[in-house]
Chains A and B, each alone.
Chain A
């Protein structure tokens, strides 16, 4: 795992996530303009920015939930913008996604939620599947709530279960959409610790989209700050602090 602040090393092979000249609009509204970024093996990139600057759209583009107007997105070397559905699904199996509101299936129990991708992609017995689900829930400290429905859990607990579900297929890459949004500072810090611990254990590359500067600093190796759909600055957190750009200074002070 690279040390904090390390740049992706192209000599070690293709970066797991490569975004080049990416643009996306919804109707007349331009959301992303010519975005380019890379995430190296085992590296965590935090994408910062105000609400509505296209951060979440960027994550959804990386996993192929939206199609861009132009540009390319390479995930593990495959350009997801050009893949057919079957090939795209193979790429998706190697990418975990933690949604902003966890997006747990509300008619399924916690156990069924985490087991959902397992049952669909692995031919394992019910016993094996249950064992794996228990392990995953234990890794996020939620094994005691396996039979509860998502509606019975707090926001922080839902995020933990969402994380367990995202890890079910043992991804190489994790995408986090506002992992600490709407949580109290203590729960947010617990989620950050959990993300850090899982990154250490699993050596995954991650993109964390957030507007929480504390969270970004805690979990990331590099940060990229977005403004109006464009990448304003990219580097270590220290690089951001050294910047004299009024928006960067205001963003950091505002935290």
Chain B
């Protein structure tokens, strides 16, 4: 290949990388502006209490069955696989503690966040995206109602406050089904399972892990609302907003979890 062609290809590649970087910075800049407007709308009165309660109820009632099911399945899988491993090491008596620690410290919060991300982020992204492309958001703004206050702040806050509650549901069903799965192999009373499992659990094990889901809720709410409010281009735009909401929220939840687990270990161990 002649030298000039190679140079041209390299220049093109560099230009493409630069364009991608500019887009990336632009995206983060827009996200920062969005967050600024969101904070202002959420903090300054009047507050959309009625809409917040409606969103809280919607999010909770629609996510609850999925979260309960996912929590229960996690409990069963965790018990079955852990039991097998512990038997090999002769540490079967640790099973309740391992299952309960695992569920309340990590499995419950992360499974809840990912399930809600799939269920709610897609829903919020698509709903706001559809409202945006059909000018419903503009109509709201034109009638002197702040869409950031009415649509965005209420949804983000609902996600933040509902996630810890849903995590408790996932924890409950995970532990219950973990006990059932264990009992199917070797009968043990629920009281004994709970007692053995929670014997060494402290609030430092339970509270930070449950409350970290507030951050997951914030990520789900902000990302899905941001994608929805920036949707463009008809049904394709709505589809893009819904897909990007789930993908980005799930990815950011996993990345945030890495950071939060480290912080919890530093401050609460």
Q: How many residues of B contact A (CB 8 A)?
A: 14
Q: Which residues does chain A contribute within 8 Å of B143, judged by CB atoms?
A: 92-93, 97, 116-117, 120, 165-166, 168-169
Q: Which residues does chain A contribute within 8 Å of B140, judged by CB atoms?
A: 105
Q: Is the beta-carbon distance between A103 and B145 smaller than 8 angstroms?
A: no
8 Å CB interface, B134-161 against A: 134-136, 138-146
Complex partner residue of A103 from B139, B144, B146, CB under 8 angstroms: B139
Nearest-CB residue, chain A, relative to B48: A120
Q: Which residues does chain B contribute within 8 Å of A60, judged by CB atoms?
A: 138
Q: Is the beta-carbon distance between A92 and B142 smaller than 8 angstroms?
A: yes
State in angstroms the CA–CA spacing of A102 and B136 once bound together: 9
Q: Is the beta-carbon distance between B136 and A65 smaller than 8 angstroms?
A: no
Q: Is the beta-carbon distance between B138 and A99 smaller than 8 angstroms?
A: yes
Q: Is the beta-carbon distance between A120 and B145 smaller than 8 angstroms?
A: yes
Q: Which residues does chain B contribute within 8 Å of A20, judged by CB atoms?
A: none
Q: Which residues does chain B contribute within 8 Å of A109, judged by CB atoms?
A: none
Q: Which residues does chain B contribute within 8 Å of A63, judged by CB atoms?
A: 142
Nearest-CB residue, chain A, relative to B41: A85
Asked, given contacts A89-B144, A116-B145, whether A65 binds B138 with beta carbons under 8 Å apart, the answer is yes
Cβ of A90 < 8 Å from any Cβ of B? yes
Give chain A's interface residue range (CB within 8 Å of chain B).
20 to 34
State in angstroms the CA–CA spacing of A93 and B145 once bound together: 9
Q: Which residues does chain A contribute within 8 Å of B135, judged by CB atoms?
A: 99-101, 103
Nearest-CB residue, chain B, relative to A93: B144
8 Å CB interface, B3-52 against A: none
Contact with A along B48-81 (1 / 0, CB 8 A): 0000000000000000000000000000000000
Q: Whole-angstrom distance from the CB of A156 to the nearest CB of chain B?
A: 17
Q: Whole-angstrom distance from the CB of A26 to the nearest CB of chain B?
A: 11
Q: Is the beta-carbon distance between A97 and B142 smaller than 8 angstroms?
A: yes
Q: Which residues does chain B contribute within 8 Å of A116, judged by CB atoms?
A: 143, 145
Q: Is the beta-carbon distance between A105 and B136 smaller than 8 angstroms?
A: yes
Q: Is the beta-carbon distance between A106 and B136 smaller than 8 angstroms?
A: yes
Cβ of A104 < 8 Å from any Cβ of B? yes
Cβ of A250 < 8 Å from any Cβ of B? no
Nearest-CB residue, chain A, relative to B143: A117
Q: Which residues does chain B contribute within 8 Å of A166, judged by CB atoms?
A: 143
Asked, given contacts A65-B141, A97-B139, A99-B139, whether A106 binds B146 with beta carbons under 8 Å apart, the answer is no
Contact with A along B102-144 (1 / 0, CB 8 A): 0000000000000000000000000000110011101111111
Q: Whole-angstrom distance from the CB of A7 to the nearest CB of chain B?
A: 28
Most chain A beta carbons < 10 A, residue from B136, B139, B145: B139
State in angstroms the CA–CA spacing of A60 and B141 once bound together: 11
Q: Is the beta-carbon distance between A117 and B134 smaller than 8 angstroms?
A: no
Most chain A beta carbons < 10 A, residue from B140, B141, B142, B146: B142
Question: Can you pick out 28 interface pairs between chain A and chain B where the beta carbons lie within 8 Å of each other?
Answer: A60-B138, A85-B146, A89-B144, A89-B146, A90-B144, A92-B141, A92-B142, A92-B144, A93-B144, A97-B143, A99-B135, A99-B138, A99-B139, A101-B135, A103-B139, A104-B136, A105-B136, A105-B140, A106-B134, A106-B136, A116-B143, A116-B145, A117-B143, A117-B145, A121-B144, A165-B143, A168-B143, A169-B144
* A interface list, Cβ under 8 A from B: 60, 63, 65, 85, 89-90, 92-93, 95, 97, 99-101, 103-106, 116-117, 120-121, 165-166, 168-169
The 4 closest A-B pairs by CB, nearest first: A103-B139, A89-B144, A103-B135, A92-B144
